[in-house]
Amino acid sequence: MKTPSLIHGLMAEFDDPTSLVTAAGRAHREGYRCMDAYSPFPIEELHEALGSHHTRLPLIVLVGGLCGCIGGYALQYWSSVIEYPLNIGGKPLHSWPAFIPVTFECTILAAALSCVLGMLALNGLPMPYHPVFNLPRFALASRNRFFLCIEATDPKFDLEATRRFLETLEPREVSTVAD
Amino acid sequence: MTPQLTQTADVAIPELAGLQRRLLLAGAIGAVLSLAGAFLDLRQFMQSYLMAYMLCLGVTLGCLALGMLHQLSGGAWGVVIRRPIGAASRTLPVMTLLFLPIALGMNHLYIWTNADLVAHDEILQHKHLYLNTPFFLARAALYFIVWNALAYFLNAWSLEQDKTGDEKFARRMQMLSAGGLLAYGFTITFASFDWMMSLEPHWFSTIYGVLILGGQGLSALAFLIIVLAWLSRRAPLDTIVAPAHFHDLGNLMLAFVMLWAYFSFSQYLIIWSGNLPVEIAWYMHRLQTGWRGVGITLIVGHFVAPFVVLLSRQVKRQPELLMKVAVFVLLVRLIDLFWLIAPEFHQAGVSVSWLDAVLPLTLGSIWMAAFVYQLRGRAILPVNDPEFDEALGRIIERGAPQKAAH
């Protein structure tokens, strides 16, 4: 058992989005999996270059939506058929067409809430501390620089070899990120 | 940029000429069969013709409207289908000619043309001010003038843009599209009232126009997905069209499927809640007879099935799969039109004639031949569009090194 490393990972800095996407793609082909990329704006291609790992979020949203759908319908059924049966316009107590709009709205509400909460649960936000901010230059990630960080938790990570690999990607510089 | 992009589609994609010939042949055979059908049962012919015509017109006008929508919204999804959209809108003169059988045979379709019947019907007497033959024909002429004018100017300016690359044409097309979308909304509302809702002249539904409008958007999107999937298997689009484009179009198709369900259900909910004799009769013809099965087929086939399938990201990013969904959607569009039209002619129960299959195939083939002919005449992408590089630039850039690597 290795002692926990004091290094979060190695960070390479790039000038433009194309270099970052190319670098991420090469790192993925090289076998690195525990890595993340940082850019001032969303880059659609980056997701695939990093090896699009499947997220469980769609499943969470689907389950949330179905719960809202069933819950919304059940609430109306319970109130208008079981608990407070009222004759409205001579229509049957269980008048499903009238239940659809509320059922639909409950589906959307529950799906949207589970999407936001599920996203926060999966990505660990809000996160008061993240090691990447230990690197002063990382502030540029919200301006005009593009960063690729290979994390020390990656099985293939080796301080010397990984640094040499990152240098071959022609970054502006490679820095060590303290944990 | 590859030279293929600036060639006309006729030169870049030689298969199109053969496809057009086969479609024309199919249309000719179908026309002979349909004419035989017209002699055997004229009323059934008119009914099936109206259904087939509304499907073809839906694709044509849907394409025209989507094209105008894209002029206003922009986006990569529209740049790759701009030329099929233009070609479809240039078939409007053909659709105008194909309206003639409806105008000539209208007394076999619309009972309000029967003077004896109107004389004994107080409601129809009140509606006579609007529902009378001269005004019906004058309105139809107005709709076709508006649609043909929109298609003519948008296509003429698009051609000028191809030749000169002058940005003023893009601006002009945008200006016309803003007013054009509004004009399309009004004309299609009244056209659907005239041509389809008045089949049951006592009945009315104010949402009917948007229901038809949403259906036309869906038909057009499904058609364009099929066309783009076919084109993306061939040069020059094979290196340009990316899964992201299909993803966008798939999402739009999902939105239109939901829009159709929303409009259809809204109409049902309001009429069911009100339960008024004049309004509810339309649903009683349909839901208390054998037609109920067609209605359930629509709920499942026109909403549930495509909705569930199109939620999947994988389906939307695979052209082959998405194309199959689009073919299915076009088929249920036809069933929806069947549901709106046929029960007025057969109130006792479901009645399907062989003409209900032959006429959509015939008109579809003739329309497709006109579409392919129009598609062949211009380049397959709007290369001089000011949005072109922005919309496709990154994808072309990314496509090039991948090709070199193979």
Domain ranges of chain B: 3-392
Dihedral, CA of residue A111, residue A116, residue A117 and residue A118, to nearest 10: 80
Tokens 């090691």, residue located = A131
For residue B227, give the nearest of B365, B371, B122 by alpha carbon.
Answer: B371
Q: What is the pLDDT of residue B399?
A: 39
The partner residue sitting opposite A45, judged by closest CB among B268, B269, B398, is B398
For residue B297, give the nearest of B253, B251, B252, B333 by alpha carbon.
Answer: B333
The answer to whether residue B265 neighbours chain A at the CB level (below 8 Å) is: yes
For residue B89, give the nearest of B156, B27, B35 by alpha carbon.
Answer: B156
pLDDT in tens, A60-103: 999 999 999 999 999 999 999 999 999 988 889 999 999 999 99
Q: What is the pLDDT of residue B72?
A: 93
**Cβ atoms of B205 and B312 closer than 8 Å:** no
Q: What is the pLDDT of residue B3?
A: 61
The partner residue sitting opposite B269, judged by closest CB among A58, A89, A100, is A100
Q: Is 50 exceeded by the pLDDT of residue A3?
A: no
- Summary count for chain A: helices (H), strands (E): 5, 4
Tokens 């009100």, residue located = B274
Half-sphere exposure for A11 (CA within 13 Å, toward CB): 25
Q: What is the pLDDT of residue B69?
A: 95
User: Is B273–A45 a contact, with Cβ atoms under 8 angstroms apart?
Assistant: no
Reduced to 3 states (helix: H, G, I; strand: E, B; else coil), residue A37 is strand
Chain A neighbors of B265, CB-CB under 8 A: 97, 100
For residue B399, give the nearest of B160, B238, B284 by alpha carbon.
Answer: B238
Q: What is the pLDDT of residue A49?
A: 84
**Cβ atoms of B24 and B365 closer than 8 Å:** yes
Residues of chain B with pLDDT under 50: 395-406
**Cβ atoms of A172 and A14 closer than 8 Å:** yes
Parallel, antiparallel or unpaired: strands A146-151 and A173-178: unpaired
Interface pTM (ipTM) of the complex?
A: 0.74
CA dist B381 and B387 (Å) reads 12
Nearest chain B residue to A62, by CA: B311
Given pLDDT bands bounded at 50, 70 and 90, which one contains residue A5?
low
CA dist B189 and B105 (Å) reads 22
Distance from CA of A37 to the nearest CA of B (A): 19
Instruction: Assess whether the previous peptide bond of A171 is cis (omega < 30° from 0).
Output: no
For residue B402, give the nearest of A45, A172, A169 by alpha carbon.
Answer: A45
Q: What is the pLDDT of residue B2?
A: 57
Q: Name the least confident of A15-24, A122-131, B384-393.
A: B384-393
Tokens 């690729």, residue located = A148
CA dist B379 and B199 (Å) reads 42
For residue B134, give the nearest of B110, B165, B103 by alpha carbon.
Answer: B103
Write out the two tokens for B211. Answer: 């229901």
Q: B394, B395, B396, B397: which to substitute to probe chain A, counting the most A Cβ within 10 Å?
A: B394
The partner residue sitting opposite B273, judged by closest CB among A18, A44, A98, is A98
C-alpha pair distances (Å), B159 with each of A3, B38, B173, B381, B385: 70, 40, 11, 12, 11
User: Is A100–B398 a contact, with Cβ atoms under 8 angstroms apart?
Assistant: no
CA dist B130 and B134 (Å) reads 10
**Cβ atoms of A8 and A178 closer than 8 Å:** yes
Helix segments in chain A, DSSP class H: 17-30, 44-49, 57-77, 96-123, 159-168
Half-sphere exposure for B228 (CA within 13 Å, toward CB): 34
For residue B269, give the nearest of A111, A107, A102, A75 by alpha carbon.
Answer: A102
- pTM: predicted TM-score of the whole model, two decimal places: 0.86
For residue B53, give the nearest of B189, B148, B191 by alpha carbon.
Answer: B191
CA dist B133 and B105 (Å) reads 11
pLDDT in tens, B197-248: 999 999 999 999 999 999 999 999 999 999 999 999 987 888 888 888 999 9
Distance from CA of A91 to the nearest CA of B (A): 9
Given pLDDT bands bounded at 50, 70 and 90, which one contains residue A31?
confident
Write out the two tokens for B292. Answer: 């109920």
Helix or strand holding residue B20 (H, E) = helix B15-40
Longest dimension (CA), chain A: 80
User: Is A45–B269 a contact, with Cβ atoms under 8 angstroms apart?
Assistant: no
Distance from CA of B306 to the nearest CA of A (A): 16
Q: At B121, phi and psi to the nearest 5?
A: -130, 110
User: Is A89–B275 a contact, with Cβ atoms under 8 angstroms apart?
Assistant: yes
Q: What is the pLDDT of residue B244?
A: 86
Helix or strand holding residue B350 (H, E) = none
Q: Is 70 exceeded by the pLDDT of residue A157?
A: yes
Half-sphere exposure for B213 (CA within 13 Å, toward CB): 21
Q: Is 80 exceeded by the pLDDT of residue A43?
A: yes
First to last CA, chain B: 19
